[in-house]
């Protein structure tokens, strides 16, 4: 085994040990556990070299070393095998297949529950980004007169999502007029996308036309304005992983970020076309995520990339397992949504 190879093994041992213990790793521990057949002094030399090259850092002089983001990056690129399912225990695999066997919810609920599943098996926070509403075609349009002056506009999309918007209308509008408007709206939207801008719709009844126009505009606006849907599962894990964060405050701001959704969605979108990917600590430009890693896997519906599932944990996380989890879950989710 030549020097470079051994240094890789030393780094690997340090990462694995540190993931397990959350403590700085000493040269002795590596020499003892890694089975390299060299003394701790040699390991020490390698460790100084690895630190010089930016893979390791020392919290303080008389302590062991911990991996830097760059160290994790090397570890993931070199040692983590995204195709290996072996990272998953039997129990976890069972949970996944059981979940997808029993799944029969509408799209939104399904994606939400999927985030919960992923959080459960990885014991970290999980995110699921749904298929963009823009791309889906309208299958059905409803205008429901809930009570005088109040109409609920509903668009059922081909992917099973449902867009809703409440409209306040003239209280004198009759249910027949609403029905007329519904037909007009259906004519304009069914089999189209919500991207289609509203157009004048001359028919017999101007009030009905008005309602159809309003409803179209409202649904159109909503589809325009809304970012891709994001579902977060197991956010409470972030609070439980407090120790990983520099300050108690940063865990709170991270949770806030997840609540606001939009930042996370754009981050995930940016990484979407890279296939299974890992983004470590300072690699993503969002400061609040400095102490976190994001392990993502896109899922496809009938061959098209539709969305992403991901795990959000501290940089000190079990990448092997997270990769295995997102890989299997995304595959199964894509399967389910394709058939």
Partner DNA sequence: GGTTGGCAGTCGGTACACTCGACTGCCAGC
Partner DNA sequence: GCTGGCAGTCGAGTGTACCGACTGCCAACC
* Among positions 32, 33, 35, 63, the unique one binding DNA when judged by CB under 7 A: 63
A 10 A CB-CB count for 51 gives 15
Stretch 262-301: interaction string toward its own copies, x if CB under 8 A: ----------------------------------------
A 10 A CB-CB count for 89 gives 12
130 DSSP 8-state letter: P
48 lines the binding site for DNA (CB under 7 A) = yes
128 alpha carbon, distance to own chain's centre: 4
Nearest by Cα to 277 from 310, 254, 306, 307:
310
- Tally DSSP H helices, then E strands, for the chain: 12, 10
Which tokens hold the place of 316? Answer: 């000190």
248 lines the binding site for its own copies (CB under 8 A) = yes
* Among positions 9, 11, 19, 65, the unique one binding DNA when judged by CB under 7 A: 65
* Among positions 45, 93, 174, 193, the unique one binding DNA when judged by CB under 7 A: 45
Contact indicator for 10, 36 with CB cutoff of 8 Å: yes
59 lines the binding site for its own copies (CB under 8 A) = no
196 lines the binding site for its own copies (CB under 8 A) = no
* Among positions 11, 12, 15, 64, the unique one binding DNA when judged by CB under 7 A: 64
Q: How far is the CB of 18 from DNA (least distance, A)?
A: 12
Is 71 or 160 the residue whose CB approaches DNA more closely?
A: 71
225 lines the binding site for its own copies (CB under 8 A) = no
298 alpha carbon, distance to own chain's centre: 9
Which tokens hold the place of 106? Answer: 């509408």
Q: Please, how many CA atoms are within 13 Å of residue 97, restricted to the half-sphere of its CB?
A: 6
H helix intervals, 85-138: 90-102, 107-122
93 binds, among its own copies, DNA, none (CB under 5 to 8 A by kind): none
Q: How far is the CB of 7 from its own copies (least distance, A)?
A: 37
Burial tier of 305 (Cβ tally within 10 Å: 0-12, 13-18, 19+): middle
* Among positions 186, 196, 244, 252, the unique one binding its own copies when judged by CB under 8 A: 252
110 lines the binding site for its own copies (CB under 8 A) = yes
Q: In sequence order, which residues have a C-beta less than 8 Å from that of residue 312 and are 6 or more positions away?
A: 124, 125, 126, 127, 238, 258, 292, 293, 294
Distance CA 262, CA 265 (A): 5
Stretch 135-174: interaction string toward its own copies, x if CB under 8 A: ----xx-x-xxxx-xx-x-x-x-xxx-x-xxxxx------
42 binds, among DNA, its own copies, none (CB under 5 to 8 A by kind): DNA
267 lines the binding site for DNA (CB under 7 A) = no
146 binds, among its own copies, DNA, none (CB under 5 to 8 A by kind): its own copies
A 10 A CB-CB count for 297 gives 24
For residue 231, the surrounding DSSP H or E stretch is strand 230-233
Interface with DNA in residues 11-40 (CB under 7 A): 26-29, 37-40
Interface with DNA (CB under 7 A) = 3, 6, 26-29, 37-42, 44-45, 47-48, 51, 58, 60-65
Footprint of its own copies (CB under 8 A): 104-110, 139-140, 142, 144-147, 149-150, 152, 154, 156, 158-160, 162, 164-168, 218, 233-240, 242-243, 248-249, 251-256, 258-259, 339
């Amino acid at each position: 085994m030549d020097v470079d190879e051994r240094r890789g093994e030393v780094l690997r041992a340090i990462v694995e040990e540190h993931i397990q213990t959350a403590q700085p790793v000493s040269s002795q521990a590596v020499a003892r556990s890694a089975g390299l057949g060299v003394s701790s002094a040699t390991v020490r030399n390698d460790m100084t070299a690895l630190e010089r090259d930016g893979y390791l850092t020392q919290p303080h002089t008389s302590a062991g070393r911990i991996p830097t983001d760059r160290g994790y990056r090397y570890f993931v690129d070199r040692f983590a095998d995204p195709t290996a399912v072996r990272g998953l225990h039997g129990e976890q695999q069972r949970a996944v297949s059981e979940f997808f066997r029993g799944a029969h919810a509408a799209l939104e609920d399904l994606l939400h529950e999927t985030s919960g599943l992923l959080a459960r098996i990885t014991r970290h926070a999980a995110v699921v980004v749904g298929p963009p509403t823009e791309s889906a075609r309208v299958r059905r349009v409803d205008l429901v007169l809930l009570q005088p002056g109040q109409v609920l506009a509903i668009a059922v999309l081909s992917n099973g999502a449902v867009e809703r918007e409440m409209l306040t209308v003239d209280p004198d509008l009759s249910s027949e007029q609403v029905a007329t408007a519904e037909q007009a709206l259906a004519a304009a939207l069914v089999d189209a996308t919500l991207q289609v801008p509203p157009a004048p719709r001359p028919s017999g009844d101007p009030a009905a036309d008005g309602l159809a126009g309003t409803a179209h505009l409202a649904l159109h606006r909503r589809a325009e304005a809304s970012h891709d849907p994001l579902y977060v599962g197991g956010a409470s894990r972030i609070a439980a992983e407090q120790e990983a964060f520099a300050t108690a405050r940063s865990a709170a701001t991270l949770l806030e970020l997840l609540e606001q959704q939009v930042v996370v969605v754009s981050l995930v979108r940016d990484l979407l076309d890279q296939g299974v990917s890992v983004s470590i600590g300072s690699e993503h430009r969002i400061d609040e995520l400095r102490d976190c890693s994001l392990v993502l896997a896109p899922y496809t519906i009938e061959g098209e990339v539709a969305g992403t599932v991901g795990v959000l944990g501290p940089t000190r996380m079990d990448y092997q397992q997270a990769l295995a989890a997102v890989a299997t879950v995304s595959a199964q989710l894509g399967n389910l949504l394709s058939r």
